[in-house]
Each structure stands twice: as C-alpha cells, then as structure tokens.
Amino acid sequence: MAKGTYPMPNMGLTWRTIRKMCTLELLSNHKINSFKSMRKEELDLFIKFIQEAARDRVTVDLSAKVSSLNADMTCRMVFGRKYMNKEGLTKRMKAVSKMFDDFFEKIIDEHIQSKDDQERTKDFVDVMLGIMGSQESEYQVERSNIKAIILDMVAGAMDTSATAIEWTLSELIRHPRPLRTAMLMASTYPENHTVIINVWAIGRDPSVWTNPDKFIPERFVGSNIDLRGRDFQLLPFGSGRRGCPGMQLGLTVVLLVVAQLVHCFDWGLPNNMLPTDLDMTEEFGLTVPRAKHLLATPTYRL
C-alpha cells in the first residue's frame, strides 16, 4: 500500500472502538464547546470582512468565503492552528498521497513537542496522542490510526458544513419572505450487496410533507420531528449506529454561521438580479455543491 494511504478498519471490534473514541473523546458536546472561542475568533474575522464589503458596496463570493471559513474552523479544531493557503499546503495535500503523510507526520511531531504547553486549548490531535500514551485507556491507538482519523475528520468536515451553509443562504436569498421571517423570529436484495438508502427521497416524501420540494423553513416551527435520527420523516445525519458522529459539530457550525449572516446583514443579488433568476444548478459530488459560486451583496443593518 502506498505511503500516505490510511486504511480505515472493517466493520468489527476495531471499527466500533475507534468510532466510540471519536464520539466520546473528540465529538462530545463538552469537547465541541471547548472550541467555542476558536469558532468565535474565526467568525468575527469573517463578519468583519463582510462588514467591510457592505461599507464598500461590493459583491461577495459567499461560496468561496464560507468554504474558507469552514476550512479555518476545521483546521483549528483538528490541528490547533490554520494551515490553509498561506503555505500552499491545501493544493499540495490534494496533489499526492505522500504529501498527506508528510503533512500529518509534521502535525503530530509539532503536537508532541508542545505537549507540555498547558495554556492552549487541546485539539483533536492532542486528545488522541494522550490516549496513545496512556496505559489505562480502553482504546488502542497507534500513530497510523491518528493519521487516518485526522484525514477522516478533515475530509468529513470541509465540504459538508460549507455546502449546507451555501445552499441555505442561496434559498434564503432566493425566497425573501422566509428570510424576512427569520430576521423577525419492500424489495429483496442479493446477498452481500451494499444497500444505499435514499435519504434525500425520504426527506421529500409527499405523504409526509406538503409541497416537499418548496423552500418553506417555517414548516418545522412547532414540529415534533427530530432531525437526529429518531424520526424517519427526516434523516439528514442518518440513524442508529451508522449515524454521523459529527452531527453536533456540524449543527453547531452551520447554525452559528447562518444565524450571524442573517442577523447582521440584509442580502441582495448583484446587477439588479431578481431572486427568481438565481441559478440553483447543482454540481455532482459527495456533497452536491452549487455549480456556480453564490455571489451576493451585503448591507450591514446593526
């Protein structure tokens, strides 16, 4: 297997153990809350940039800026600092797998050298190194496991939250009424085949939802349907043992960013474009982002 390729374990005891460790040690509410100051610092920088754009009356590439914000938040939570763009590491990490390995080795070595620094917030790598060096921990973690988990965390966090924020803002700009409201308040399958549940279709079942393809966010106001996997009318994060372990982190980031953008700014489209003219074409991919970047003009209103 090539250097820099990290095989994740098959379903079984090892997989369950690593998932348990990630869920309890890295993605718990307590750990997510410990990163609150990091998220606030990055969001403050982001809002300041939008304020300056509003003052200068310029159009903002929201797709690019939200993606950059999400990358910075993710790197700070996982690595303890931002690594994107300044050193050109983003392009190089994507280029070849060996650079992934070199990059992650550097990250781990830096954390080992600074392990006695008690003043900084412990990030994901610190937690996993602490588990690796503990004789009392129930988890068996090696250096290769840490690199695999780092890769999984970064890959799982980069596009998902950013794409959710991008589409939420697209729909809010395209439908001014909900935006104003928000400002105010049985088959048989062959053996050994993998079955992929069409969660997208479940969430748009016309027998459950009225006008399921229309953007009506107020339909959820007062609803007792829980999106955490207990109600099958809506399963954005999956359910049960196969549910997304990063659900709480994703919800925290998306709600925080969207709430700030809606609370602080009025949004319009450039060149007198009407909301109904906004191109909503999707681009095929794991997270189905917008085919064209969302460009919008902010007006600061606080």
Sign of the Cα pseudo-torsion (250, 251, 254, 260, in order):
negative
d(CA 292, CA 102): 33
8 A C-beta contact, residue 72 and residue 84 = yes
Residues 94, 147, 150: CA angle, nearest 5 degrees? 70
- Name the CA radius of gyration of the chain, rounded: 21
The domain locations on the chain are 13-300
8 A C-beta contact, residue 75 and residue 38 = no
Q: CB within 8 A of 261, min separation 6: which ones?
A: 50, 169, 267
Q: What is the CATH number of domain 13-300?
A: 1.10.630.10
pTM for this structure? 0.69
Give, for all 302 residues of the chain, the pLDDT tens digit. Answer: 334 444 455 566 777 788 888 888 788 888 889 889 999 999 999 999 999 999 999 999 999 999 999 989 988 888 888 765 545 555 555 565 677 788 889 989 988 888 777 777 788 888 888 888 777 777 778 888 888 888 888 877 777 888 989 998 999 888 877 777 766 654 456 667 776 777 788 888 888 888 988 888 888 888 888 777 677 788 777 777 777 888 888 889 999 999 999 999 999 999 989 999 999 999 987 788 899 999 999 999 88
d(CA 81, CA 116): 17
